[in-house]
Structure 1
Amino acid sequence: MEALNPAALSKDVLGSREMPRLGRNTAELELDAVFELAVAGMSELTPRANQKGEAGRSDEVVVIETVPGGLRAEEDQEIHQAIWSVMPVLDYIIYEARRNHIRLILCLVNNLDNFGGKAQYVKWAQAAGANLTNSTDSFFYDPTVKGYYKDYVKAILTRRNSYSGIRYSDEPAIFAWELMNEPRCVSNSSGPHLQAWIAEMAAYVKSLDAKHLVAVGIEGFYGTGIAERLGFNPGDWAASLCSDFIQNSAVENIDFASVHAYPDSWLPKASMEEKLRYLSSWVDSHLNDSEHILKKPVLFSEVGYLQHVEGNSTVDRDILLRVVYDKIYDSARKLQAGGGAFIWQLMVEGTHMYHDDFSLVAHDHPSTYKLITEQSCRLQMLYENDRDPDWQCAIQP
């Protein structure tokens, strides 16, 4: 497995197996998932890098979370040392991913508070004496907070894997870095701060690592800059969150665009037919904008359906997932911008304690598992001359 040259991320890359077109997400990174993914034929895994840590044996679910490196208080140093002591677990996961021909997209921080997120950075800065309000928007513009984030990024990207001896910045199994999961602002006046933060941090990552790709991690909502795009948002609320698909993705050091799709939770009162129409237009709009305006690939890096809600069915989830898969396949077949679609979130047996409302174990849902495998098969067949020789399609599409 060779490292991917960011300068080569073009229609040529989109037409090869270098671009991970099928994958899954996990908030709690499971070691067993590496092997299950290899069997299913998936080529991408998106773990989240968060703010706390828990060690474990190789047969356990391990939450891989990290802490920014700029803290100076004695008690923070103790926490810092304890958390970084579990980093060999991530080393092992990356090592095994490479052996199983799986590429990873590593997310560097969460917007959400579930694992600390950007709010924790603000708290650390306040504890260190920074004169900040409780608004988490300061994450995007305060020099102290930005320094914490940069310290952390540098520590991760320059880390040398304890199993392989390879620096993360040179690791072939890492496909890309994601700056933040679903960046949002509290105040809609903070949009310029978010845009400037994306540009600054994307350039900083590139200064440390010229071998890997960089994405923002946005949900794909349109801002107020292009009024005719607002109708593609799931509601008026989406334009008030400061992110803007076109503006954020157009940043020079952002290599590909990212989009999320949660029609079931974004449109809770809509009928299945309405959700289906919305999802179809949402995917079409972002494929078209990526192809004709951004001229960059786009990954639908999270596609989720509420699994544990009364009235929702596996049949409905499969219908929605097929819409995304079919459109991505059609785009890939034409060598256009569609880069892939990753389900949120696929789990393995025995991990129920880490499930959320979107989680599913593939083997418990054979129709969904078949759909995922068929998508992997037809994408592999599409690029038969360049496909991975170590993986054979189990189902003929």
Structure 2
Amino acid sequence: MSKFSRIVFFFFFSILVILQASEAARLVPSPRVSGFVTTKDTQFLLNGSPFLFNGFNSYWMMHVAADPTERYKISNVFRDASAAGLTVCRTWAFSDGSNQALDLQISPGVYDERVFQALDFVISEARKYGIRLILSLVNNYNDYGGRPQYVQWAKSAGEKISSDDDFYTNPVLKEYYKNHVKKVLTRFNTITKVTYKDDPTIMAWELMNEPRSQADTSGKTVQGWVQEMATYTKSIDNTHLLEIGMEGFYGDSMPEKKQNNPGYQVGTDFISNNLIQEIDFATIHAYPDIWLSGQNDYAQLGFVEKWISSHWEDSRTILKKPLVFSEFGKSSKDPGYTLSARDEYMKAVYDSIDNFARSGGTIGGGLVWQIVAEGMESFYDGYEIVLSQNPSTAGQISGQSQKMRTLSHTLSNEH
């Protein structure tokens, strides 16, 4: 090859390499997560402007991502969710001793690096698609181990335990939980190369999914635990937002509020628990099909609208903190269920969120339960939504995303 031919060859070879590199860069979604979500009074803020959102629950992500051949399901859900304008996802950052093959925490303080790398992947994919995460740190129930598994570990270590509610008061159990908090918050992500506590992809930490206490229905036992664990969590990470994970049941601090409960208490106190200084925003869940089983759709919807209304008012006037409706849905297992009934229910919930967000803010958004990928029938619980297979529901979700985005822009312009 002549000198001239070599120059021409290398010139075109260089052009080809540059073109391939730019094509590869084009195919990888550019990260759209910048800045930490913060709060001021009753508003969420992002980079100084009001942040309103529509979001979803996909609790199963780390669990499924532990099998690398299944990881495309996480990518598909984030891709479809992003296309529907969803910007916040709530998922589990725990799996405790209940399934040895897929546990994050095998025993107290002992972790499976392979499962931790699955959580690394979930965070990195969320970041790619511009979706922020609320990461829950333990379950109240025995799914994925939870509070009962912690209690079992303590019993096996020789601790005298009288009930699962000792989780909130026993020093050994509290130490187990704190160790898990520290392990997760200080985790260095092997994919993004960012420590979790420094990653703006994470919107908030959640202390526990739906804390409850049978031993003390007043809310005081849970109060002591939340205060201790919120203080501890903030001592490690004072940048991210923190919430409890509560359903919204009222307790003994304001007895007149208990009439809003669905006829019973669960050991939490929406007012006093969320007044704890280290808690940045309040949450509610609602499952009228379970809580008010046997009542008709009209009565159940009436309960939910009142549930949102009372908690919005309390968050605005008493707590002076933002509120998130972080679990709601309608089950296909309900008697008389139809797809159109679910869509109507979701529209009514979305309209309530939208109306309250317009009436002085306070409510930041809602997180529907739950979005799954195609081919995940084993995770179906009646509430599952496959965006690609449920066009009418996907339309409801996209419409709400658009409303919240528009309202965000309107408020930003007024800000």
Residues 1:149 and 1:171: Cα distance change in structure 2 (over 3 Å): same
Give SS of 2:138's match. coil
**1:208 counterpart = 2:231:** no
Partner of 2:6: none
2:16 corresponding residue in structure 1: none
Cα gap change, 1:6 to 1:207, in 2 (>3 Å): farther
Alignment partner, residue 148 of structure 1: 176
Measure, in 1, the Cα distance between the counterparts of 2:282 and 2:203. 14
Q: Of residues 81, 88, 92 in structure 2, which corresponds to 1:37?
A: 81
Letter in 1 for 2:105: V
Relative to 1, partners in 2 of residues 1:209 and 1:118: Cα closer, same or farther, differing over 3 Å? same
Aligned-pair CA distance for 1:265: 1.5
Q: Quick check: 1:19 aligned with 2:19? A: no
**Pairing of 1:40-79 with structure 2 (within 5 A):** 40-52=84-96, 65-67=103-105, 70-71=108-109
Q: Which amino acid aligns with 1:222?
A: Y
Encode CA deviations 1:175-227: one digit per residue, 9 max, x unaligned.
Answer: 00000000001223673221100011111111111110000001001113322
State the Cα deviation string for residues 330-349 of structure 1 (Å, max 9, x = none).
22223421111111112121
The 3-state SS of whatever aligns with 2:334 is coil
Partner deviation per Cα, 1:315-371 (whole Å, 9 max, x = no partner): 222222222211211222234211111111121211111111221222333221111
**Structure 1 residues 56-88: Cα deviation after superposition (integer angstroms, max 9, x where no partner):** xxxxxxx975228745xxxxxxxx34x233211
Deviates more, 1:292-301 or 1:23-32: 23-32
Deviation readout 1:235-261 (Å, 9 max, x if unpaired): 2x2x2x211111111111000000001
Aligned residues: 367
Does the 8 Å CA contact 1:68/1:152 hold for their aligned counterparts?
no
Match of 1:99, as an amino acid? Answer: K
Q: Which moved more, 1:14-23 or 1:254-263?
A: 14-23
Q: Which residue of 1 aligns with 2:143?
A: 114
Whether 1:179 and 2:207 are equivalent positions in the alignment is yes
Contact 2:97 2:107 (8 Å CA) reproduced: no
1:3–1:212 Cα contact (<8 Å) kept:
no
CA distance in 1, matches of 2:55, 2:130: 12
Q: Tell me, yes or no, if the aligned pair for 1:198 and 1:248 is still in contact at 8 Å.
A: yes
Query: Is this contact kept in 1: 2:88–2:133, CA < 8 A?
Result: yes
- SS across alignment from 2:357: helix
What secondary structure, in the 3-state scheme, does the structure 2 residue paired with 1:214 have? strand
Larger mean CA deviation between 157-166 and 317-326 belongs to 317-326
Among 356, 362, 369, which residue is 2:387 paired with?
A: 362
Give the TM-score normalised by structure 1: 0.86
Question: d(CA) in 2 for partners of 1:64 and 1:211?
Answer: 30
1:337 corresponds to which of 362, 367, 386 = 362
Residue 224 of structure 1 corresponds to 252
Alpha-carbon separation, structure 2, partners of 1:110 and 1:139: 12
Structure 2 distance, partners of 1:36, 1:68, is: 33
Residue 101 in 1 paired to residue 130 in 2?
yes
Q: Distance in 1 between matches of 2:137 and 2:232?
A: 13
Which secondary structure state, in structure 1, belongs to the residue aligned with residue 327 of structure 2?
strand
Structure 1 Cα separation of the partners of residues 242 and 200 of structure 2: 14
Aligned partner of 2:220 in structure 1 is 192
* Whole-angstrom distance in 2 between the partners of 1:356 and 1:85: 27
* Identity rate, percent: 37
Out of 120-129 and 318-327, give the one that drifted further. 318-327
What amino acid does structure 2 have at the position aligned with 1:40?
Answer: A
What code does the residue aligned with 1:158 have?
A: T
Distance 1:36 1:297 in 2: 27
Unaligned runs of 5+ in 2: 1-32, 62-72
Give the aligned residue type for 2:345. Answer: L
Structure 2 partner of 1:4: 36
Alignment gaps of 5+ in structure 1: 56-62, 72-79, 388-397
Q: 1:205 to 1:6 in 2, by over 3 A?
A: farther
Q: Per-residue displacement from partner, 1:105-135 (whole Å, max 9, x unpaired)?
A: 00000001111110100110111111212x1
Deviates more, 1:187-196 or 1:365-374: 187-196
Q: Classify the secondary structure of the residue corresponding to 2:174.
A: helix
The 8 Å contact of residues 49 and 64 in structure 1, kept in 2 or not, is answered as no
1:276 Cα deviation after fit:
1.8
Asked if 1 retains the 8 angstrom alpha-carbon contact of 2:243 and 2:282, the reply is yes
Q: Larger C-alpha radius of gyration, 1 or 2? A: 2
Partner of 1:348: 373
For 2:83, the aligned partner's letter is V
SS at match of 1:24: strand
Change (3 A) 1:193 1:159: same
- 3-state secondary structure, aligned to 1:350: coil
Q: Does 1:87 align with 2:116?
A: yes
Distance 2:347 2:400 in 1: 9
Q: Distance in 2 between matches of 1:341 and 1:211?
A: 23
User: Which runs of structure 2 are paired with 1:164-175 in the superposition (5 Å)?
Assistant: 164-175=192-203
Deviation of 1:18 (Å): 6.4
Letter in structure 2 aligned against 1:229: K
Distance 1:107 1:20, change over 3 A: farther
Match of 2:323 among 298, 305, 320: 298
Residue 158 (structure 2) pairs with residue 126 (structure 1):
no
Tell me, in whole angstroms, the C-alpha distance in 2 between the residues paired with 1:47 and 1:258.
15
Whether 1:317 and 2:333 are equivalent positions in the alignment is: no
